[in-house]
Amino acid sequence: MNKILAILGVFAFSSSILVAEEETPKIQQHESVFGNRKPKTASEKKVQKIEDIIYSYVDKGSDIKNKQIRAAIISDVKKLYPIDGNEKPLNVNISQIRKETESKAEKEFPLTDKELTEKYTKEVDEIFKPVPINSIITITYKQGPYTKTITGRYFGLTYYNDGVKIENSVVPIFDLSDTDKSKFDEKLRVIRKNEYVSSKIADYAERKKNFIEKTIKEKINNIVKQNEKYGFIFIWNKWFTPEKVANVLITHIVDSLSQKNIEPVFDVEKKKIEDNTKDDTEKEVKS
């Protein structure tokens, strides 16, 4: 008797769990126009919110094809994202923005390559001056694994121009640090000068380019912010009102749900074959 009661108790407990599971509402998984990726921009986040509003009606069993239901959805969207009917979205004309920005850049960076070459050549002549004879200098050089320095009066180069005479010492140019070599090696000094001028011209061009790109980006961002402030939504490469976005999404969701409810032809035919086979088998068993 106790065993029977125990079994009945377990059965009752299991039944209560099953009932509880049936009563627990399942979280609906809905397809988004963004697929699996998360919305990034302010406009995309608004689109997701509008999707949520539409699917809230779907989850309640409302027929979103119905005009009244559609009107209710649009009303909810307008309350969430009101828009001034007198405002129009500002146009993002990339060509015009670039033209205006490049004109501004010419004023900010007016020097030509020729003017830059002249400017930086004068500048580099002051930086890479040959060391005057009889001047007191300090140079760094390498001797085996060690780095050393020497300070003294400079008496010029050796006969073959391959060494530096300082006081009573001679330091081979080959052993000098890269910075000091160009002070005494004329050929190397010319190379360093050309490198300096070229790098300065390239840097000027890069700063001009960055100025243009940054300014264009700022102008576009300002237009985007202004349009979003008005209430417009940028999606599908265009600016729309929230109402227009809602209407497009409703149509898309209706089509998507309709496709899910249509059983594929292949599956229908497969089911027919299985049913016919089952009937034939039952007839054979009975006979």
Task: Inform me whether the pLDDT recorded for 22 exceeds 50.
Answer: no
Classify residue 161 by its DSSP letter.
S
Q: What residues does each domain of the chain span? A: 2-87+237-286
Q: Where are the alpha helices (DSSP H) in 37-169?
A: 42-59, 67-80, 94-108, 113-127
Q: What is the mean pLDDT of residues 3-25?
A: 42
> What was the pLDDT predicted at 266?
35
> What was the pLDDT predicted at 220?
93
For residues 73 and 70, what is the distance between their CA atoms, to the nearest angstrom?
5
Q: What is the mean pLDDT of residues 83-100?
A: 87
Work out the percent of the chain whose per-residue pLDDT is above 90: 49
Pairing between β-strand 146-157 and β-strand 136-143 as defined by DSSP bridges: antiparallel
For residues 140 and 155, what is the distance between their CA atoms, to the nearest angstrom?
17
> What was the pLDDT predicted at 31?
81
Q: 236 and 252 in contact (C-beta within 8 Å)?
A: no
Classify residue 36 by its DSSP letter.
T
Whether the model pTM is above 0.75: no
Task: Inform me whether the pLDDT recorded for 283 exceeds 80.
Answer: no
Q: What is the mean pLDDT of residues 30-41?
A: 85
Q: 101 and 216 in contact (C-beta within 8 Å)?
A: yes
